[in-house]
Structure 1
């Protein structure tokens, strides 16, 4: 059997050796090593525990365990699909940014749930930028017609414009910091995008529904020009049309 390179990479990212990983999961170190070297799969319950330790998706580490549980033809870059943003564990976003080393990117109208559920979000972004990670934040312009139209479609009134202003207040302390760029855009937002290196969470918007009730795709870049890259290109397209935010 081929080695499990996904598991090997996850161990490196987590900074764990076989002994530490095995202890956390509750198995023998040789067993954990065989999971990598021979590609052997653990029992499902053990796999879930191991995935939690590594803060990864079990289906990504051991795709064979999901055979028969997921439809055939599932795209290789899709790690998980969450029915709604509200159903997705917040650790997905926390882990996305915490593990990032090269880039953190956010494309939203407001996305204030990040700061509401994670008061230390700005502190983490400062640390990442200081360590050389490029941080780019795209927020909606509260005066843009597309933003007010979204509020009407979602029967949210002027609430969305207010949330755009609140989002800018949250990120305002980061404006002007080296390595951090905060911009505003006036485009129609088809998807909210949250990227940390080669991982991405895409909140796919649904007409007439607030973002928290729409699905979230968890993607991991596997091939050049794939689905991940298409969303990354859309981020760049909006970035090109945006303007630098002014500190509140």
Structure 2
């Protein structure tokens, strides 16, 4: 399933028939693209031009592989929504020791049953899973809702929905959920030495902000800065056991 293409079509108010007509292909071909098949380059370029986006926004896996940008910096995704669900799942499934999640709600992960299953499975194999979410009653969560333009009540509701979805994880040994009252400048998703850091930008939903893929190589690298931040927030957060 190519959700990137699906969202882009919805934003452009186009359907499979519209795309098929513009590219002179069968609508069934476009449906196959939506279901995950990668088009030939000429079709990818044509679709990207039609939707006024970059080809790699629709098919991130076609992006050329370059060496790490700098020490510990692997790549930068233009938007969180540009990361395929399979990438998130593989990220957490690769963990053998630690999984850390720091966000206000991380609802997009909580709504993915496959990701919840992976977190539970990893915990059962001995991986420590720590989830830090915003306290829905805190002014920091309310302020973030206003910043994103969705409102304080909506943001608090998103956190509560996420907590309800994450709740079954607490039945697995090694999973702990805490609530923080912190102003976040980024969300963090860690699997051992691999970090996906979703930056926050004023007036911009986290899903539209960039994500950095970092590798923790040494105590002086950029990943170390974010891991230190996680630890400081974790030590001041309150356990959530409901």
How high is the TM-score relative to the length of structure 1? 0.69
Query: Which residue is equivalent to 1:148?
Result: 142
Shift in Å at residue 124 of structure 1? 1.5
Query: Which residue is equivalent to 1:184?
Result: 179
**Which of 101, 105, 111 is the aligned partner of 1:110?**
105
**Which of 104, 111, 114 is the aligned partner of 1:120?**
114
How is 1:19-98 mapped onto 2 (pairs within 5 angstroms)? 58-59=65-66, 63=67, 74-98=69-93
Q: Deviations over 1:195-225 (max 9, x none)?
A: 0001000000001111011100011122222
**Equivalent-residue separation in structure 2 for 1:141 and 1:231 (angstroms):** 20
Which runs of 4 or more aligned residues in structure 1 lie more than 4 Å from their structure 2 counterparts after TM superposition? Answer: none
How is 1:158-169 mapped onto 2 (pairs within 5 angstroms)? 158-169=153-164
The alignment of Structure 1 onto Structure 2 pairs a total of residues equal to 179
Q: CA RMSD in A?
A: 1.6
Question: Alpha carbons of 1:92 and 1:120: their partners in 2 closer, same or farther (altered >3 Å)?
Answer: closer
More displaced 10-residue stretch of structure 1: 187-196 or 147-156: 147-156
Secondary structure of 2:144's counterpart equals: helix
Check if 1:138 corresponds to 2:145. no
Question: Which is helix-richer, 1 or 2?
Answer: 2
* Contact 2:180–2:237, Cα closer than 8 Å, also in 1: yes
Q: Deviations over 1:29-55 (max 9, x none)?
A: xxxxxxxxxxxxxxxxxxxxxxx7xxx
**Equivalent-residue separation in structure 2 for 1:187 and 1:199 (angstroms):** 23
* Contact 1:106–1:138, Cα closer than 8 Å, also in 2: yes
**Equivalent-residue separation in structure 2 for 1:77 and 1:187 (angstroms):** 26
Q: Deviations over 1:53-109 (max 9, x none)?
A: xxxx933xxx2xx9xxxxxxx322111101111112222211111110000000010
| Unmatched 5+ stretches in structure 1 | 1-51, 67-73
**Equivalent-residue separation in structure 2 for 1:84 and 1:146 (angstroms):** 23
* Contact 2:109–2:116, Cα closer than 8 Å, also in 1: no
**Equivalent-residue separation in structure 2 for 1:124 and 1:165 (angstroms):** 21
Shift in Å at residue 112 of structure 1? 0.8
* Contact 2:124–2:172, Cα closer than 8 Å, also in 1: no
Query: Which residue is equivalent to 1:202?
Result: 197
* Contact 1:112–1:166, Cα closer than 8 Å, also in 2: yes
How high is the TM-score relative to the length of structure 2? 0.70
| Unmatched 5+ stretches in structure 2 | 1-60
